[in-house]
Amino acid sequence: MYKIIGADGNEYGPVNDEQIRQWIAEGRANEQTRVRVEDASDWQTLADRPEFAGALGAKPLPPSSFSTLGYSSPDSRVLDQVSGPATGLIVTAVLGFLANGFMVIWFLVAGQFQALPPDLDPEIEKIFQVARSMGGVVSALLGVALSALVWYGALQLKKGRSYGWAMTAAILALVPCTSPCCLVGVPIGIWALVVLMRPEVKSALQQLP
């Protein structure tokens, strides 16, 4: 059994030699891929391991249109399953961008005109206005950042690339305090989580390395 360092820099295994040969054939591992025997401490390249010489000498299989990051393509049925939730998460993110962008403008422009308790000292009133406006701006900018995370995770899900980012997008869309758009995000987040928990989807999106 072996452990290897994948194209993303993470360690995977233990796996057997047949699995590694399959990755070599798919173009997901090459001569420079680092590997070590499970019980050993020293890392080598696959080129240093004679048992993989034959596999490395074979011509890799042509990459699919979904392997641009070094991952093999999930089954088309899996991509069909995640397409709807991914589109919903993208819509949620876009609505979050728009809503929070509007709030940034609102707090910067209109926040200073909001009513404050009467008979306040002018200096204190000015401090209240600035603090309230800045607090609103910071909150809205946080919403923009969270929308960006949902958008990125949704794109990864759409392309069948990253289970971790897909789960992150679904959870952020689902949690009321962080969702870019609660009315839309909560049901879509639940939908995405249900799909992502299906065994065939989880397995396909967690392909290694």
Give per-residue pLDDT as tens, 102-151: 777 776 666 554 554 555 555 555 555 555 656 666 777 777 888 889 89
Q: Which of 79-93, 128-142, 144-158, 193-207 has the lowest mean pLDDT?
A: 128-142
**Is residue 208 scored above 50 in pLDDT?**
no
Is the pTM higher than 0.95? The answer reads no
Q: Which helix (H) or strand (E) holds 161?
A: none
How many other CB atoms are there within 10 angstroms of residue 155's CB atom?
18
DSSP 3-state of 158: helix
- Taking residues 15-30, report their average pLDDT: 84
Is the pLDDT at 68 greater than 60? The verdict is: no
Q: By C-alpha distance, which of 77, 23, 83, 81 is closest to 52?
A: 23
Task: Enter the tokens of residue 174.
Answer: 């689902």
Looking at the chain, the whole-number percentage of residues with pLDDT higher than 90 is 4
What pLDDT does 72 receive?
46
pLDDT at 91 over 80: yes
Q: Where are the domains of the chain?
A: 2-57, 76-205
Of the two residues 93 and 177, the one the predictor is more confident about is 93
Q: Report, at the CATH architecture level, how domain 2-57 is classified.
A: 2-Layer Sandwich (3.30)
pLDDT of 155 above 50: yes
State the pLDDT at residue 51: 84
* Separation of alpha carbons 129 and 139, rounded Å: 15
Q: Specify whether the CB–CB gap between 31 and 46 falls below 8 A.
A: yes
Contact 2, 12 (CB under 8 A): no
